[in-house]
């Protein structure tokens, strides 16, 4: 097999100062097996069009400047082998900025929203330290391990601009800011954790708006798994006792109500318990349709009452909940 | 081919709001000669929400479910992406962290159980493709789906995080999944190619971030419709519930009329294998799928 491959790069072009609309321009390149996506961007600029613009700096996967998207896949250009992408998507690659609506020039985007979200979670250790401390603030290896890999974030924006929840709700903090929030809330030196956890627990902006799609986990070029940190933040809401009783926290805790009674989730109860009786009206339309199509059962003749089957050996589940539950709402 | 035998973890929805998922799964298995033992002891997987509340408890309860598959010496199959994800995450956590496994087993011992890690966990979709085989399914087709444009909707929790699914379940590339497309091909249907096939349906924030949920479901459905889909198919009953039950609400948010029947993956196979109307259970859908038979 030949060591090179002829590839078309369908490339997003836009200059916010002069262009009314973005357009795509095709460049044909002979791509070698060891070339990185960044090499291809360089070759477009050096061999085809000197005005083509993108950010790059370290070339070592550490500065986070060269994040783009290739066929919709978040890509750190200096880390990604081009041939791997050709194998995955074929010999026409779609080269786009992380966020088309935030494009300033070609691959360069305005990351203001990313930095604003980051700043909003107080991404540093807050602690009153005497001006002349007599010893270091100590941390055990076990405490240090609790950071997991959250420290390795290079703030490239790959997860942030892959998050569909953020796309639908611009107020949401997004996975990068929440990873930073976890990093500093788990730090034993930090004295601001409860306030930070309250901020990231607020409805409409915080952890309860995560849709659990794992796009962030897939996107991260440093394998950080932001979704794992978001789950830890969910847990910390209850562990630290900062969780307020609202539709989201009741939704999480309320699973146990059905499980204690039946072993299964009680699908009707989780909606009424989470929403409260007043909030239920939003779901009446759907409930009526579900009832009409037989999705809500009438085992007892009355809908919702005793309509959930029971698992075998339910007593085991009840006992395990009793002896293993560690959190309370 | 020797008889394939699996322990079926039904999950909650197949036992409640989507009985058609369970009946069509069992009907497909019977047609193909796959032996299924339902794990009637298995509880809810926590659906990621219990995991948000109490991660350790969720591991204990999922480990208990897996114990019952281990007792039978069978692979545990799932018919819900979220059940697959949460069961597999517990298995992965316990198999790679001996200290956690010991803590979980200490609790399980109280009810006379022990998690060993001997059973695999796999979604029914991938057992059909990887173990039964597409060629063998092709041979059994009685009602080719050649009159239908079918939009595959993969559902997040079968394809992401890919690291987890690569070691045990399907091994799809989450940016370019192919299994459902291949299955539609094998049943002689026409797979619809559209951008949102591997995106999120928004089910998990239906209650707490309703607008987000409707927008995500709407984007996917409109994309499928605009690419000429007659019907959508998904291996996940939660995607099904979001997209089937809430079409009117989703349409209002998106500003489009949405009418698109959403099939469960086993229902689509059951249709092609010539299973009975009762087994396929289309009557349980909110958006009626009336034009499916040729």
* Per-residue pLDDT in tens (0 to 9) along chain B, 294 residues: 789 999 999 999 999 999 999 999 999 999 999 999 999 999 999 999 999 999 999 999 999 999 999 999 999 999 999 999 999 999 999 999 999 999 999 999 999 999 999 999 999 999 999 999 999 999 999 999 999 999 999 999 999 999 999 988 999 999 999 999 999 999 999 999 999 999 999 999 999 999 999 999 999 999 999 999 999 999 999 999 999 999 999 999 999 999 999 999 999 999 999 999 999 999 999 998 877 765
DSSP H stretches of helix in chain A: 37-43, 82-89, 112-120, 141-145, 164-168, 175-185, 193-201, 215-219, 226-239, 247-253, 255-261, 267-279, 284-292, 314-324
Please give the pLDDT value at position A127: 94
B154 and B250 within one domain: yes
> B224 to chain A nearest CA, in Å?
18
Q: Which residues of A touch B246 (CB under 8 A)?
A: 286
Domain with CATH 1.10.1060.10 in chain A: 112-127+140-239
In what order do the strands lie in the sheet containing B35-38? B35-38, B5-9, B75-78, B121-123
Q: Which residues of B touch A215 (CB under 8 A)?
A: 156, 160, 200
> B2 to chain A nearest CA, in Å?
30
Residue A288 pLDDT class (50, 70, 90 cuts):
confident
Q: Which residue of B has its CA nearest to A294?
A: B284
CATH number at residue B118: 1.20.1050.140
A 148-177 residues with CB < 8 A to B: 164-165, 168-169, 172
Please give the pLDDT value at position A261: 96
pLDDT above 90 covers a percentage of chain A that reads: 87
Q: Give yes or no for B30 touching A (CB within 8 A).
A: no
For the cut 60, the answer to whether the pLDDT of residue A302 exceeds it is no
Return the closest-CA partner of residue B38 out of B21, B22, B19.
B22
B269 and B143 within one domain: yes
Enumerate long-range contacts of B132-139, CB under 8 Å, 24 or more apart: B132/B1, B132/B4, B132/B32, B132/B34, B133/B1, B134/B182, B134/B183, B134/B185, B134/B186, B135/B186, B136/B1, B136/B32, B137/B32, B137/B183, B137/B186, B137/B187, B137/B269, B138/B186
B244 and B164 within one domain: yes
> Residue A281 gets which letter from DSSP?
G
For the cut 70, the answer to whether the pLDDT of residue A325 exceeds it is yes
A264/B108 touch (CB, cutoff 8 Å), yes or no: no
B149 and B71 within one domain: no
A312/B212 touch (CB, cutoff 8 Å), yes or no: no
A208/B285 touch (CB, cutoff 8 Å), yes or no: no
Return the closest-CA partner of residue B197 out of B167, B168, B173, B166.
B173
Q: Using CA atoms, how far apart are residues B241 and B250, in angstroms rounded to an integer?
A: 12
Return the closest-CA partner of residue B217 out of B190, B263, B248, B181.
B248
Q: Which residues of A touch B205 (CB under 8 A)?
A: 165, 208-211
Q: Give yes or no for B175 touching A (CB within 8 A).
A: yes
Alpha-carbon dihedral of residues A171, A175, A178, A180, nearest 10 degrees?
A: -130
pLDDT digits 0-9 by tens, A72-115: 999 999 999 999 999 999 999 999 999 999 999 999 999 999 99
Q: How many CB pairs under 8 A join A and B?
A: 203
For the cut 80, the answer to whether the pLDDT of residue A296 exceeds it is no
B239 and B271 within one domain: yes
Q: Using CA atoms, how far apart are residues B160 and B174, in angstroms rounded to an integer?
A: 6
pLDDT digits 0-9 by tens, B83-141: 999 999 999 999 999 999 999 999 999 999 999 999 999 999 999 999 999 999 999 99
Tokens of B36: 């299924």
For the cut 90, the answer to whether the pLDDT of residue A31 exceeds it is yes
Tally the domains of chain B: 2
Residue A281 pLDDT class (50, 70, 90 cuts):
confident
> Residue A20 gets which letter from DSSP?
S
Question: What's the mean pLDDT in A209-227?
Answer: 97
B239 and B192 within one domain: yes
Lowest mean pLDDT across A186-190, A214-218, A276-280, B105-109: A276-280
Selecting from B64, B175, B212 the residue whose C-beta is nearest the C-beta of A169 gives B212
B221 and B108 within one domain: no
Please give the class, per CATH, of domain A112-127+140-239: mainly alpha
CATH number at residue B211: 3.40.50.11810
Residue B290 lies in a domain: no
For the cut 90, the answer to whether the pLDDT of residue A311 exceeds it is yes
Residue B130 lies in a domain: no
Residue B291 lies in a domain: no
Please give the pLDDT value at position B269: 98
Residue B142 lies in a domain: yes
Residue B127 lies in a domain: no
B64/A320 touch (CB, cutoff 8 Å), yes or no: yes
> A44 to chain B nearest CA, in Å?
25
Selecting from A217, A225, A326 the residue whose C-beta is nearest the C-beta of B56 gives A326
ipTM of the shown complex:
0.96
Question: What's the mean pLDDT in A32-52?
Answer: 97
Q: Which residue of B has its CA nearest to A306?
A: B16
Q: Which residues of B touch A264 (CB under 8 A)?
A: 12, 15-16, 43-44
Please give the pLDDT value at position A218: 97
Please give the pLDDT value at position A245: 95
> B97 to chain A nearest CA, in Å?
14
Tokens of B50: 């219990």
Residue B153 lies in a domain: yes
pLDDT digits 0-9 by tens, A127-183: 998 999 999 888 999 999 999 999 999 999 999 999 999 999 999 999 999 999 999
B192 and B107 within one domain: no
pLDDT above 70 covers a percentage of chain A that reads: 96
B117 and B142 within one domain: no
Please give the pLDDT value at position B1: 72
Please give the pLDDT value at position B85: 98
Please give the pLDDT value at position B114: 98
B169 and B240 within one domain: yes
8 Å CB contact between B247 and A285? no
Selecting from A89, A282, A311 the residue whose C-beta is nearest the C-beta of B176 gives A89
- Residues of the domain holding B34: 5-122
For the cut 70, the answer to whether the pLDDT of residue A123 exceeds it is yes
Please give the pLDDT value at position A181: 98
Q: Give yes or no for B51 touching A (CB within 8 A).
A: yes
Q: Give yes or no for A74 touching B (CB within 8 A).
A: no
Please give the pLDDT value at position A304: 57
Kindly state which CATH superfamily the domain A4-109 is placed in: Beta-grasp domain (3.10.20.30)
Q: Render the burial of A191-201: b for 16+ CB within 10 Å, e for the rest.
A: ebbeebbebbb
Question: What's the mean pLDDT in A192-212?
Answer: 97
B140 and B106 within one domain: no
* Mutation site, B7, B16, B154, interface A, largest A CB count within 10 A: B16
A164/B216 touch (CB, cutoff 8 Å), yes or no: yes
B83 and B177 within one domain: no
B283/A293 touch (CB, cutoff 8 Å), yes or no: yes
A214/B160 touch (CB, cutoff 8 Å), yes or no: yes
């Amino acid at each position: 097999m030949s060591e090179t491959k002829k590839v078309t790069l369908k490339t997003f072009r836009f200059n916010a100062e002069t262009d009314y609309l973005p357009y795509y321009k095709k460049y044909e390149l002979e791509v070698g097996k060891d070339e990185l996506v960044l090499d291809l961007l360089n070759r477009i600029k050096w061999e085809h069009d000197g005005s083509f613009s993108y950010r790059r700096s370290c070339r070592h996967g550490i500065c986070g400047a060269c994040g783009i998207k290739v066929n919709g896949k978040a890509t750190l250009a200096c880390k990604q082998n081009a041939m791997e992408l050709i194998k995955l998507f074929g010999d026409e690659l779609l080269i786009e900025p992380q966020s088309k609506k935030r494009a300033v020039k070609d691959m360069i985007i305005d990351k203001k929203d990313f930095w604003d979200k980051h700043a909003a979670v107080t991404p540093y250790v807050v602690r009153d330290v005497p001006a002349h401390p007599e010893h270091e603030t100590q941390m055990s290896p076990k405490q240090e391990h609790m950071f997991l890999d959250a420290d390795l974030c290079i703030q490239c924006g790959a997860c942030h601009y892959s998050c569909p929840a953020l796309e639908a709700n611009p107020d949401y903090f997004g996975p990068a800011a929440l990873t930073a929030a976890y990093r500093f809330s788990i730090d034993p030196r930090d004295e601001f954790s409860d306030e930070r956890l309250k901020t990231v627990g607020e409805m409409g902006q915080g952890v309860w708006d995560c849709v659990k799609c794992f796009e962030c986990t897939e996107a991260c070029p440093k394998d950080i798994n932001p979704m794992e940190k978001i789950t830890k933040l969910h847990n910390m809401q209850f562990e630290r006792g900062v969780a307020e009783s609202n539709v989201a926290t009741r939704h999480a805790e309320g699973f146990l109500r059905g499980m204690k009674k039946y072993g299964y989730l009680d699908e009707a109860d989780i909606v009424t318990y989470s929403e409260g009786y007043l909030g239920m009206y939003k779901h009446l339309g759907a409930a009526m349709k579900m009832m009409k199509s037989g999705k809500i059962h009438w085992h007892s003749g009355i809908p919702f009452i005793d309509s959930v089957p029971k698992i075998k050996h339910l007593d085991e589940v009840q006992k395990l909940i009793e002896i293993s539950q560690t959190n309370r709402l | 081919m020797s008889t394939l035998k699996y322990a079926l973890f039904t999950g909650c929805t197949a036992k409640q709001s989507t009985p058609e998922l369970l009946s069509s799964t069992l009907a497909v298995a019977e047609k193909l000669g796959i032996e299924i033992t339902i794990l009637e002891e298995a509880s809810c997987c926590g659906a990621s929400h219990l995991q948000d509340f109490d991660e350790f408890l969720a591991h204990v309860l999922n480990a208990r479910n897996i114990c019952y598959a281990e007792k039978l010496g069978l692979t545990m199959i799932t018919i819900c992406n979220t059940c697959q994800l949460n069961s597999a995450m517990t298995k992965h956590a316990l198999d790679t962290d001996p200290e956690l496994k010991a803590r979980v087993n200490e609790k399980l011992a109280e009810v006379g159980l022990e998690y060993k890690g001997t059973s695999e966990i796999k979604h029914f979709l991938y057992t059909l493709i990887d173990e039964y085989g597409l060629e063998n399914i092709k041979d059994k087709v009685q009602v080719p789906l050649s009159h239908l444009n079918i939009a595959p909707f993969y559902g997040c929790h079968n394809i992401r995080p890919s690291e987890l699914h690569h070691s045990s379940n399907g091994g799809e590339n989450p940016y370019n999944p192919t299994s459902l497309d291949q299955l539609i091909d094998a049943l002689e249907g026409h797979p619809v190619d559209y951008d949102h096939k591997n995106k999120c349906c928004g089910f998990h924030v239906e209650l707490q971030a309703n607008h987000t949920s409707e927008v995500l479901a709407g984007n996917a459905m409109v994309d499928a419709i605009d690419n000429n889909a007659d019907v959508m198919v998904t291996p996940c009953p939660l995607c099904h519930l979001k997209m089937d039950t809430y079409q009117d609400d989703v349409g209002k948010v998106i500003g489009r009329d949405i009418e698109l029947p959403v099939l469960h993956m086993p229902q689509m196979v059951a249709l092609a294998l010539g299973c009975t109307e009762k087994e396929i259970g289309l009557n349980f859908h909110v958006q009626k799928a009336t034009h499916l038979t040729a």
